[in-house]
Structure formats: C-alpha cells, structure tokens
C-alpha cells in the first residue's frame, strides 16, 4: 500500500523456466527503473558469474528454521538437492544454522499492517464480500497486527534494522579467510531452504509464513523452484516425532499422504 513501506513489496515474476525469470529480470533492470524510482540502487544486470576453481560457490542448506520442522517430503527434497550439489565441481555444501527466526516473525508481523489492517478491512467492506478464513486469521486474530502509534512504529523499525544487522553478521561469520585486499572470503553465497513447512495444505490452513516472510524482513532476493513430487510410500510421518512448539504441532497436524509437487527456495 502506498505509504506503508516498512516491508517493501516487489515484483514476483512466475515462469515455467529459469530462463524465463532471467529474461524478465534482465528486461526490467535494463530499463533502468532507478531513473524513475529514486529508492532503487542502480545495479546493471549481470550474468557473468560462472562457477569455477577461481569462483567457487558455497551453498548453505537450511534444513529447518528452528521453529517449525518441515514435513518428510520437504526434508527429502532438500537432501536430494544437497546430495546433487556435492557431485558438482567447485561447489561446497554446508549446513546453515537459522538465527532467531521466531523473533523475525514477531517483527515482521508487526510491520505488515501498521494501520492494524484498517485499509484492507475498508476494501473488503466496499466489495460486499465476506471475510475469508485466512484473512480473518491474519488481520483479526494475529496478536502482531494492530494500529501502531508513531513511537511503536519507530520501535519495530529499529528492531527490523537491528535484526538485519545481526543476520548480516551471522552471514559474514561463515567466512573462512580474507583475500589479498583483506576482504572476507569463503562466505556462504546462497541459502537453499524450504518455501514452506509442507506441500500445499488444505484450503484455509496455511498459517505458517516463516519460511518466506523471513526473507521479506531481511529484504533478500529469492527464487522458488520445484524439485519433485511427494512419494506416499517414502514420505511417511515418523511415529516418534515430537513437535518443538505449538506452531510445530499445528503444522504436523496438516501432514498427510498426497501426490503433490515439492517446492524449495
């Protein structure tokens, strides 16, 4: 919404191929949008990076976010991608340890609707249509959504900036050395993680956004892509699984056999 930019929105292209997304991004960036949008940093499109001995790639695998454990098909997909990457020359795979992702949700859920959802509610009222269950859950039942005073807005934006700095330090701490210019080297280049804690759930039950909202809060670029399909003979809920939290318990109550596709980020 215009004026409500504590968490900026961005264009999210969809394509049947990676080449399609690259073409979209190239065309948009080549148009130099920073000439009409001053908030943007001038950054020409570049596809020069090639993985090699001189330019190796270090990939971190985030198996879970420390709050909600993904369902079996998601974990299996991550394992398959990790195993494949280890077979490619000049790519190193390491585990990524999430940093206070529960705290991240507290921050971002307070900044998504700083007017307490008033503008959204007014638009729904104008439509004459009933509130959908997940809209009701997010705007009326979520403790993080309330109309913020100026001081409260300042507080949560300070928390946002502090968290971004802390996460940047976590990333920088993955460095293994310095180059000839004394710049950090050997850091993780990219993180691979779930898009969500399970495959597409039943309608009106998708109440955990932590695997995507995390990157909205940090303002990091991301792309999601399909990996495979659920195998009901393999992706079985373990009998000894113990949820780590109430959110985890709610998520695992959604776990069921299906033949849906698996997507990771």
| Same domain as 121, residue 76 | no
Q: Which residues contact 100 (CB under 8 A, 6 or more apart)?
A: 66, 163, 166
Q: Is residue 59's pLDDT more than 70?
A: yes
Task: Report the relative pairing of strands 261-264 and 177-178 from DSSP bridges.
Answer: unpaired
- Domain assignment present for 180: no
pLDDT at residue 181 greater than cutoff 60: yes
**Is residue 4, in this structure, part of any structural domain at all?**
no
Question: Could you count the other beta carbons within 10 Å of the beta carbon of residue 194?
Answer: 26
Domain check: are 104 and 89 in the same one? no
Given this model, what pLDDT does residue 256 score? 66
pLDDT mean over 247-263:
72
Instruction: Supply the pLDDT for residue 12.
Output: 84
The pLDDT assigned to 48 comes to: 77
The pLDDT of residue 70: 94
Q: Is residue 130 part of a domain?
A: yes
Query: Of 120-124, 227-231, 236-240, 245-249, which range is least confident?
Result: 236-240
Q: Does 264 share its domain with 228?
A: yes
Q: 110 and 63, same structural domain? A: no
Give the closest residue to 59 by CA, choosing from 102, 84, 96. 96
pLDDT of residue 263: 55
Mean pLDDT, residues 79-105 taken together: 96
The distance of Cα 15 from the centroid of its chain, to the nearest Å, equals 18
Do 215 and 263 reside in the same domain of the chain? yes
Q: Are residues 90 and 104 in the same domain?
A: no
3-state secondary structure 141-196: CCCCCCECCHHHHHHHHHHHHHHHHHHHHHHHCCCCEECCCCCEECCCCEEECECC
Predicted confidence (pLDDT) at residue 141 exceeds the cutoff of 80: yes
- Is residue 233 over pLDDT 90? no
Q: Cα(197)–Cα(253) distance, rounded to whole angstroms?
A: 12
- Residues 4-56 have pLDDT tens digits of 789 988 878 999 999 999 999 999 999 999 999 888 889 888 877 788 888 89
Q: Is residue 195 part of a domain?
A: yes
pLDDT value of position 241: 83
29 assigned to some structural domain: no
Q: Which residues fall within 8 angstroms of residue 15, CB to CB, at 6 or more apart?
A: 21, 24
Is residue 6 in a domain? no
**Within a domain: 261:** yes
Share of the chain above pLDDT 70, in %: 96
In a domain, 146, yes or no: yes
pLDDT at 261: 59
161 and 108 belong to one structural domain: yes
Average pLDDT over residues 219-245: 88
Please report the pLDDT score of residue 35 as a whole number: 95
Q: What is the mean pLDDT of residues 58-62?
A: 97
pLDDT at 184: 81
- Domain, as residue range, for 263: 58-96+188-265
Q: Which residues pair with 190 in a beta bridge?
A: 59
Count: domains in the chain:
2
Residues forming a β-bridge with 91: 57
- The pLDDT of 140-145, averaged and rounded, is 90
The answer on 116 and 90 residing in a single domain is no
198-214 average pLDDT score: 91
Q: Say yes or no: 91 and 201 in one domain.
A: yes
Q: For the residues 173-194, what does the mean pLDDT come to?
A: 90
Same-domain status, 216 and 92: yes
Whether 105 and 219 map to the same domain: the answer is no
Q: Same structural domain for residues 85 and 132? A: no
Q: Is the pLDDT of residue 258 over 80?
A: no
Let me know: does 262 contact 226? Beta carbons within 8 Å: yes
Question: How high is the mean pLDDT of the chain?
Answer: 90
């Amino acid at each position: 919404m215009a004026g409500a930019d504590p968490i900026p929105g961005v264009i999210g292209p969809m394509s049947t191929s990676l080449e399609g997304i690259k073409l979209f991004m190239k065309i948009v960036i080549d148009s130099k949008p920073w000439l009409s949008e001053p908030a943007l940093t001038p950054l020409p499109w570049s596809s020069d990076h090639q993985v090699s001995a001189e330019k190796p790639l270090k990939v971190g695998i985030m198996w879970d976010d420390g709050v909600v454990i993904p369902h079996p098909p998601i974990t299996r997909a991550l394992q398959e991608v990790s195993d494949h990457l280890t077979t490619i020359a000049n790519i190193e795979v390491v585990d990524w340890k999430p940093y206070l992702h529960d705290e991240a949700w507290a921050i971002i859920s307070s900044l998504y609707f700083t007017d307490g959802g008033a503008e959204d509610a007014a638009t729904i009222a104008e439509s004459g249509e009933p509130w959908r269950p997940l809209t009701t859950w997010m705007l009326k039942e979520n403790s993080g959504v309330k109309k913020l005073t100026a001081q409260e807005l300042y507080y949560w934006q300070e928390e946002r900036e502090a968290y971004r700095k802390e996460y940047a330090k976590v990333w920088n701490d993955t460095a293994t050395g310095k180059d000839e210019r004394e710049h950090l080297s050997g850091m993780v280049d990219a993180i691979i993680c779930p898009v969500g804690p399970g495959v597409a759930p039943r309608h009106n039950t998708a109440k955990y956004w932590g695997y995507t909202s995390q990157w909205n809060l940090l303002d990091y670029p991301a792309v999601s892509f399909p990996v495979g399909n659920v195998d009901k003979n393999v992706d079985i809920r373990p009998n000894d699984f113990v949820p780590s939290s109430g959110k985890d318990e709610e998520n695992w109550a959604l776990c069921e056999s299906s033949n849906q596709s698996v997507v990771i980020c």
